[in-house]
Amino acid sequence: MAQKRKAKQLTVKASTQLTKNMLRLTLHGEELSDLPADSEGAYFKLVFDSANPERPIMRTYTISQYRQNQCEIDVDFMLHGDAKGVGVAAPWAVQAKVGDPVAMFGPGPATFVNLQADWYLLAADMTALPALTSNLSLLPDNATGYLVIEILSEDDQQALLAPKDMEVVWVVNPHPGSDASPLCDAIKKIEWLDGQPAIWAACEFKTMKKIRQHFRAQSSVHKSHLYVSSYWKQGLNEEEHKVAKKEDAQ
Which domains are seen in the chain, by residue range? 8-105 (2.40.30.10), 119-249 (3.40.50.80)
Query: What does pTM read for this prediction?
Result: 0.92
Type of residue at 46: L
Alpha-carbon distance 205 to 195, whole Å? 29
Virtual torsion, Cα 119, 124, 129, 130, nearest 10 deg: -70
In angstroms, what CA-CA distances link 47 with 32, 93, 207, 229?
16, 12, 28, 23
From first to last of its 250 residues, the chain has per-residue pLDDT tens of 445 678 999 999 999 999 999 999 999 999 999 999 989 999 999 999 877 877 889 999 999 999 999 999 999 999 875 434 457 899 999 999 999 999 999 999 889 999 999 999 999 999 999 999 999 999 999 999 999 999 999 999 999 999 999 999 999 999 988 888 999 999 999 999 999 999 999 999 999 999 999 998 877 789 999 999 999 888 878 888 878 778 888 7
In angstroms, what CA-CA distances link 243 with 21, 58, 108, 148, 167?
28, 15, 19, 28, 35
| Alpha carbon 102 to chain centroid, angstroms | 20
* Half-sphere exposure of residue 18: CA atoms within 13 angstroms, side-chain side: 22
Position 81 scores a pLDDT of: 52
